[in-house]
Amino acid sequence: MGFTGNGRTNDVLWDKYSLIIKGQRVFIHSGEFHTFRLPVPGLWLDILQKVKAAGFNAISVYSHMALINPSPGVVDFNDYRALEPLYEAAKQTGIWVVFRPGPYINAETTAGGIAHWVTSEVAGELRTNATDWNAAWQDYVRGVIAETVPYQVTQGGPVIDNEYPQEPATHAEYFRELETVYWNSGIVVPLTTNDPGEDRAWINGTGAVDIYGMDSYPQRFDCSNPDVWNPVVTNYYSHHESVNPGQPWYFPEFQGGSFDAWGPTAPGYDQCRILTGANFENVFNLNLLASNAKLINYYMLYGGTSWGALPFPGVYTSYDYGSAIAENRELTFKYPELKRQGLFLRSSPDFYKTDWVGNSTGGVVSVSNSAAFVTLLRNPDSAASFYIARQENSTTTDVTTFKLNVTTSAGNFEVPRFTCGITLGGRQSKIIVTDYSFGSSSKVLYSTAQVLFAGQIGGRDVLFLYGDPTSESEAALTLKGTPRIQGTGVSLVSSNGVTPVTFLPGIQGLVTIWDSSEQLVLYSDADTAGTFWSPEISANDSVEFANYWQFGTNSSILVGGPYLVRNATITGSTLALRGDLNDSVRLTVIAPNDVKTVTWNGIPISDDVTAVSNLTTQGGFVAQLKPSSTVLGFAPPALTNWRYADSLPEIRSGFSDASWTLANHTTTNIPFKPYYGDGRVLYGCDYGYCENIVLWRGHFDATENTRSVNFSINGGEAFAATVWVNDVFLNTSYGNSTNNRNILEETDDKFHFPVGSLRYGRENVITILQAGSHDNMGLNQSGPVIDEEKSPRGVRGFMLNTGEFGEWKVQGKVGGYTNYLDKVRGVLNEGGLYGERMGWHLPGFDTSSWALRDLSEGLPNATAGVGFFVTTFNLSIPDGFDVPMSFTFDDISQPYRSQLYVNGWMMGKRVSNLGPQYQFPVQQGILDYNGINTVAVALWAMEPQAVTPTLQLTFDGVYEGGVGGIETNNPPWSPEGRS
């Protein structure tokens, strides 16, 4: 057979074309999904069903060491950190899993996913063969192995570490150490990694992996000018041939969107969705296919939320990523193009094994217009050919029309033969097929129309083509049987058993081209094609891989119209469809002829006999679907009756920090040492406080000569730190980021003591409230500086103009990373604000004695400080509805930061003076759809002036359907440890 493996299993092999799973040649068509960014395990099925419905057969998943291994010796796979529910949902859906456990994952997350305790407790260089780093990752890696081994044959396999050069030797030795742990375990599937560019890493030599893969983000990460493109990368195939020609061509990450940065000029994710929109997907994804890639993963397909302390300093709470599935789980305008591509790939097994033959630049392919660029791939066994066309200038918006010389079983000739040409409408690519098979025995000699679906439904060979309504398309088909319906707006003239079909401009909607007892050929415009689904009909549960295409089933149907079709089952003569509706639609079904009844979410539907007669005489069904009237009755409750309490008692006279941690270290494993002071190290992680807000209190005696203090504060880009002496506000130090420009992650400021602020001859206290040790900023990812993940978050310099500091005390979240209280929400959820330490953000805390004060009134007396605002509201969403919701602040720049808690989960950090985020989606499961919900806002006014934030709950959409059965897991307030 000529297949290659790793010597540990025959269930996953490969050759130069593709993976071979259980003897089947498989094109891995995957999207990235991070379960930790959707901390409601019941909703993972929702994402997987949306992935599967778009024609994908795989997901790529990072796991997060910092969440799973929050402190030394602790490995926690409970709740949203669990892997088993993901694997079970994948089995239920029929989705392969490429598992990427790191330990370093990058992913725009704090320290690139490395556990925070490691950054201060490990002296050796991270991600090398340093002995203490090796010891640090063992528990985590062995834990994910134990969770994965029982699922690996069904679910694919792990990828080790991520985006890392093979040089120097200490890096390579580290990879070898990781590999050895996998090899000495029950993991038998291949190991891969991703080269973050054309660096040729990990192909040979120490640490080399089984299958090489490469990342590519051609539009990079600035969405400010979403209509301005970088051109396609033209050397993918030549790079592949130069580095690993004997392996399948693998893209572990290809651009599916972009992250967005802090700052008032940051464009926001809507612009990123335009930059990487449907035209980008069409041109750039097909360019990947033209390079003969057979394992492709789009990063991200669903981005989610970087809640709590998940983000690294360069990004804010939302990790929407401009993905095809939005942060609130809604399908966006990018989704239909991915679905058109996904259904084509699922329908085209001949495409899984192709040779790269050549392109129009090299003369192998001949085109009539040099403005068109065409690459030819051909299956060496069937001779099916795929001509992938784009503009020579991939960024142009010009219209290009050309003809193409093709080689077919009927000879060599130019196509199209009867129409003017193949049209590329600006930023567009097309696949022209020749000698293409569909169903059991039907053939397409050639088609300039695009293939959406090809297969068998109820014993008939079915082909669904589509094209642009403004231009012509053409196909030559071998038609069989006696036609009972022939389409209008098309021309059929048979010759030598082959019938050329021309599709004239102006076709809108679905047209039946040929309807016989043996074949059904359909055609539509591209937008209509994007409204169709092809749910698989799974085998019964006794069949291995019952829900996996190619393995348990090769049966599917066509369904047009609904917002989402999640799945379909046939029992006897009844077809049961399950999916989501948000509007009235015309339902169109092509199913086996023995289907007599169709139900939608369990409710029988009446057939429109007249409409069906124009569609097909066999297995067709047309009806009108309407959401129930309940949809119209939903309205979000108002957020009123706020209760308020001060959350900064630390600046009051008489406050005792006796229980706080004494900050007296004089050494640190963090390589970025203090700039000045008296030798003490004031880095939060060195005292167990690595996440979210941290407070410092420095004690000193003052004299008449004490006039100022200098602080160098490190918090990551866009951080802030406010400083008081006793109860007097001094100033706020601001970090900066303006769309990843003008970055300032560290400040060095002098703070002057106002007259009357000091107590001469007595103890005085400096209080520093620091966001960015922690707040939004997190720890840096790997970069050009060694051990950049070991970020020195805290005070890197402290100096009075005269005299010395006495004790320094530090306080973060209760218990730090070793004894934090909230084991469900986890180590990254809370910080060190007084209200957090008391548990004011948790449901069930009694605020009845607090003052009534609306959030929009801000802090009393327009002071700088921190206040907690808490209210509750009730939701009553019936079962069978999915209602994405967001908490939306006003979009006005003011000098405040706020932390948004929903039922105890920190679901948003609003930085009003920077932006851009002001809307924060919160998922069902965090929200109780049928009960009382608690929302808390920690409002930090950074200047002594009035701030007036407003907040409302908004419904982003109402969908009748959903996955149902979503459980809440929101532990309430308890006095234990909170006093």
Catalytic residues: 163, 253
Helix (H/G/I), strand (E/B), else coil: 178: helix
**Cα distance between residue 897 and residue 911, in whole Å:** 5
Is residue 866 within 8 Å of 647, Cβ to Cβ? yes
Asked if 188 and 224 touch (Cβ cutoff 8 Å), the reply is no
> Under 8 Å CB-to-CB from 826, ≥6 apart: which residues?
67, 70, 76, 79, 80, 81, 308
What number of other Cβ atoms are within 10 A of residue 573's Cβ? Answer: 10
d(CA 41, CA 86): 8
CA dist 444 → 218, 468, 640, 807 (Å): 34, 19, 64, 82
Its sign, for the CA torsion 175, 176, 181, 187, is positive
Buried residues in 157-190 as b, exposed as e (16+ CB within 10 A): bbbbbbbbebeeeebbbbbebbbebbeeeebbbb
Edge to edge, the sheet with strand 885-889 lists 919-922, 885-889, 951-955
Can you read off the two tokens belonging to residue 318? Answer: 């939302």
- Taking 3-state DSSP, the helix, strand and coil percentages for the chain, each rounded to the nearest 5, stand at 15, 35, 50
Using alpha carbons only, give the angle 785, 788, 791 rounded to the nearest 5 degrees: 140
Q: Which two tokens stand for residue 899?
A: 């932390």
Helix (H, G, I), strand (E, B) or coil at 187: coil
**Nearest Cα residue to 258 out of 275, 242, 243, 241:** 275
Q: Pick the closest to residue 269 from 309, 312, 218, 306 (CA basis).
A: 306
Which amino acid appears at position 161 of this protein? D
Q: CB-based contacts of 183: which residues, under 8 Å, 6+ apart?
A: 8
Residue pair 386/406 in contact by the 8 Å Cβ criterion = no
User: Which residue, 205, 218, 230, 209, is CA-closest to 255?
Assistant: 218
φ, ψ of residue 301 in degrees (nearest 5):
-95, -35
Which two three-digit tokens encode residue 288?
A: 């990947």
Closest residue by Cα to residue 215 from 203, 198, 201: 198
Q: 3-class DSSP state for residue 579?
A: strand
Distance between CA atoms of residues 280 and 296, nearest Å = 16
